[in-house]
Structure 1
Amino acid sequence: MSSTYAVAPPAAVLRSFISHYVGFCAHDVMPGIDIGLPSRHAHLIISLGSPIDVLQMPNTIQRAGRLRALVSGLHDAPAAVRRGGSQEIVHVFLLPAGLRAILHASPAELTSHVVELSDLWGRAAESLIQRLSAAATWELRFAVLDNAFVRALVPIQRHAAVAWAWQQLAARHGRMSIGGLARGIGWTRQHLTHRFRAELGVGPKTAARIFRFERACRLIRDRRLRLVDVAAACGYHDQPHMTREWIALAGCTPRTWIATELPFLQDYELSGGDHGE
């Protein structure tokens, strides 16, 4: 397989809503299945070639499908995408607020769901795909994205306490009491969960699980620690607890993930690092 990719930040005005852009091009890709892992990001993935063949949605009630430009919200279960042949992809890593401000979608309605960009943007989605296809370099394609997103940007209301709670969970990789988090704001746990889910799409407990899982993925990738040490570093009760969480979030055990998924994983796919806002 031969592949190239490029990573870039969005325009400054968009950085409260988008983490980063990725362009990926590969040829002679070995047939297989890629697992879409839960993360702190929502996603816009646009194929400039064949449609994206989603074999399993994070919400198993939703049917599999082939999509040209897919949008997915936060999720706490894996998705499965067919790989193989040639691929040319533009991938936008959205912060949850970007769903509302740029794509004009409800994070709660997109939780564990995948939709076509055209369902949200109508004809403007096809126009974006055409302009991306016509651009000759990744730099020009990222400029096309900036232009489209700046024009689409609308003001949104964001509750400061919800933003603070999200930042606290992210900074501690999910290792904190949700009750303590609520008390720090002056809310009940139930009220925090309600406001958090309405604004971001998932509750704080689910967000904490995702942040902890992200840290475990990165520790395994970057440090090659023993699994028992990863479990301890990430705040799992023990290694069996971490294994149960991995089966729920990644669809397999950590050892299976290391053997089958880690060799194909690109650094930009792991949140919580250089691009893990």
Structure 2
Amino acid sequence: MATVPAVLAPYVRSIVVYDVTFGGPGVHIGMPSTGLTFVLPIGEPLEVSWDGSPHTRTVGWSSVSGLHTSAAAVHHGGHQCGIQLSLTPAGARAIWGVPASALAGELLALADIDAALADLPERLADQPTWPRRLAALERDLVAALHRHSRPALRPEVARAMALLTRGVPVAATADDVGFSRRRLSTLVRDEVGVTPKTYQRLARFSAAHGRLRRAALDGEVSVARVAADSGYADQAHLAREWSGFAGCSPTEWLRREFPIVQATGHHDGGP
């Protein structure tokens, strides 16, 4: 995990440098979240598609996806190397000059969004070290901030999205910010491309994914505990949401992503 420069902090949630060798060719699951995903592979182009939809497969030196409700299938030949960023919805306007809603459910390359960034992958590949690649990335992203206007979210919409992320029910969120549910739905859709309820589900799922991933890295996992800590009614509820968003159960995801980790707790609650 690289440090996000202060100037980019309102727009970039995380910057991850990855250089991973697997046992052989396979498919990595790109999980849905409330962030926009921006990947810059090094050494080999990225092959990605929506899980279960091979006709959506793209191959290239950059990948941009907006909010999505199904997993991405990232195909690899046994090795992956590059930089992955998670952007806030405001980051779409600030860095690419488009609202996050315009990218919802899309798999695109940088050239499809901002021609001025189209040669960023080549410039990164020319750098011999990770620090120099990260410095080049920062320069280009800061330059993008200066190219694009950055209209701020309406305060009520920003507050509504923060409340939804914390699990406040949609009706209570609408009341808090003084909108009808219909008006709130329109404003959130216009900003991120999904309904308030879907945004809230994505936020809860993303929190559960983060907890399960951290637990897997630490050792043995209790899926039931992750479900409880993430606000799901029970493990079966988490399993249904996980299957819907990730295309597999939590324990199957663990087997695929962390084959040496054993999950504990009850069954997934699925068939």
TM-score where L is the length of structure 2: 0.85
Is 2:28 aligned against 1:34?
Answer: yes
Query: SS where residue 255 of structure 1 aligns?
Result: helix
Among 39, 43, 53, the residue aligned to 1:45: 39
Q: Which residue of structure 2 aligns with residue 227 of structure 1? A: 223
Identity score, percent:
34
Is 2:161 aligned against 1:166?
Answer: yes
Cα gap change, 1:233 to 1:75, in 2 (>3 Å):
same
Q: Equivalent residues in 2 for 1:1-277 (5 A)?
A: 7-27=1-21, 30-54=24-48, 56-57=49-50, 60=53, 63-122=56-115, 124-126=117-119, 128-153=120-145, 154-157=148-151, 158-170=153-165, 172=166, 175-223=167-215, 226-263=222-259
Q: What amino acid is aligned across from residue 114 of structure 2 in structure 1?
A: W
Aligned-pair CA distance for 1:247: 0.8
Cα gap change, 1:89 to 1:248, in 2 (>3 Å):
same
Query: SS where residue 8 of structure 1 aligns?
Result: coil
Aligned-pair CA distance for 1:29: 5.2
Contact 2:111 2:117 in 1 (8 A): yes
Aligned-pair CA distance for 1:70: 0.8
Q: What amino acid is aligned across from residue 72 of structure 2 in structure 1?
A: A
Cα gap change, 1:116 to 1:230, in 2 (>3 Å):
same
- Which blocks of at least 5 consecutive residues in structure 1 are unaligned? 1-6, 266-277
- Matches of 1:32 and 1:17, distance apart in 2: 32
Contact 1:74 1:201 in 2 (8 A): yes
* Deviation by residue 1:221-259 (Cα, 9 ceiling, x = unmatched): 445553334333333233322211111111001121122
RMSD over aligned CA atoms reads: 2.3
Cα gap change, 1:188 to 1:150, in 2 (>3 Å):
same
Query: How many residue pairs were aligned?
Result: 254
Cα gap change, 1:115 to 1:185, in 2 (>3 Å):
same
Query: SS where residue 150 of structure 2 aligns?
Result: coil
Q: What amino acid is aligned across from residue 196 of structure 2 in structure 1?
A: P
Cα gap change, 1:87 to 1:226, in 2 (>3 Å):
closer
Query: SS where residue 56 of structure 2 aligns?
Result: coil
Contact 2:164 2:170 in 1 (8 A): no
- Matches of 2:158 and 2:259, distance apart in 1: 35
TM-score where L is the length of structure 1: 0.83
Aligned-pair CA distance for 1:193: 1.2
